[in-house]
């Protein structure tokens, strides 16, 4: 007699936070990027923003989800890059949820903040093996390729920040003007060819998997943007 099949357990979506630290380096606005250890199973070897999972202490310290995420992002930034930022000064920038077909999933809040004067990034190699100030002008050439592999959410957020900076003219103005920005949660889907499909793709709604519908106004802001990534 065969053993009964075990029920399939749903993947737990872990709450997480990440921080885009901005500074002017050699006269050019730049974002701090860190490289994940190639040995890691989740985006090993990729360049990302500092961040990590929200833990119980962050939740207890925060009055709500966004506050807890900001606290977690600041803590992870300090642990991974030895930088200290006040979580109350961070601008809530975005929210991305890992596609529903992935075996490991995160619900990640993105924040933007300015580097404090006199601080320099520093790492103790482990989960993170390198850091770099990336000029925001380089975002059009960033892909998931081997030269400087960057995950899809990071590519899209870098473009958002770069375009906002161009609009506002300075890091200080960007942070002041974008503090009340609307945040549209991105829950990508995966196409049959394994492309990552974003909500502004014409076929997004018809693809299988969990999805989040965007308003017509939100979709209009992405009309000319790429909607599929590999």
DSSP 8-state symbol, 186: B
**In this predicted structure, what is the pLDDT of residue 9?**
60
**pLDDT above 70 (res 63):** no
CB atoms within 10 A of CB 66: 17
pLDDT reading at 5 higher than 60: no
Find out whether 217 and 223 touch, Cβ atoms under 8 Å. no
Q: What is the pLDDT of residue 144?
A: 67
**CATH code of domain 13-181:** 3.90.79.10
217 Cβ contact partners less than 8 Å away, ≥ 6 residues apart? none
What pLDDT is stored for residue 1 in this prediction?
Answer: 44
- Please, which residues bridge with residue 52 across strands? 17
- Taking the C-alpha atoms of residue 214 and residue 59, their distance in angstroms, rounded to an integer, is 28
pLDDT over 80 (residue 224): yes
Residue 208, pLDDT score: 95
For residues 121-143, give the mean pLDDT: 89
Q: What is the mean pLDDT of residues 183-205?
A: 96
Write out the residue limits of the CATH 3.90.79.10 domain(s) in the chain.
Answer: 13-181
d(CA 174, CA 154): 18
154, with CB counted inside 10 A (0-12, 13-18, 19+), is buried
H/E element holding 22? Answer: strand 13-25
- What is the structure's pLDDT at 6? 47
Q: What is the mean pLDDT of residues 164-177?
A: 97
Average pLDDT over residues 198-227: 95
Binned at pLDDT 50, 70 and 90, residue 42 comes out as confident
With 80 as the cut, is the pLDDT of residue 60 above it? no
Considering the chain, what is the average pLDDT of its residues? Answer: 91
The answer to whether 93 touches 20, Cβ cutoff 8 Å, is yes
Q: Is the CB of residue 114 less than 8 Å from the CB of residue 30?
A: no
pLDDT tens, 94-115?
A: 999 999 999 999 999 999 999 9
């Amino acid at each position: 007699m065969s053993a009964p099949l075990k029920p399939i357990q749903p993947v737990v979506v872990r709450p997480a936070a990440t921080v885009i630290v901005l500074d002017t380096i050699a006269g050019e606005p730049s974002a701090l990027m860190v490289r994940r250890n190639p040995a890691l199973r989740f985006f090993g070897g990729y360049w990302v923003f500092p961040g990590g999972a929200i833990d119980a202490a962050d939740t207890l310290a925060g009055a709500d989800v966004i506050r807890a995420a900001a606290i977690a992002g600041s803590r992870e930034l300090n642990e991974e890059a030895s930088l200290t930022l006040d979580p109350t000064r961070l601008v809530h920038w975005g929210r991305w949820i890992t596609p529903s077909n992935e075996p490991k999933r995160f619900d990640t809040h993105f924040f933007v903040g300015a580097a404090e004067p006199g601080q320099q990034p520093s790492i103790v190699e482990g989960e993170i093996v390198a850091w770099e100030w990336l000029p925001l002008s380089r975002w059009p050439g960033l892909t998931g390729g081997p030269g400087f592999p960057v995950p899809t959410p990071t590519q899209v957020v870098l473009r958002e920040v770069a375009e906002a900076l161009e609009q506002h003219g300075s890091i200080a103005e960007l942070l002041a003007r974008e503090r009340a920005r609307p945040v549209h949660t991105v829950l990508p889907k995966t196409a049959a060819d394994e492309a990552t499909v974003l909500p502004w793709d014409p076929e997004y709604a018809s693809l299988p998997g969990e999805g989040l519908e965007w308003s017509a106004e939100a979709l209009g802001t992405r009309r000319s943007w790429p909607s599929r990534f590999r």
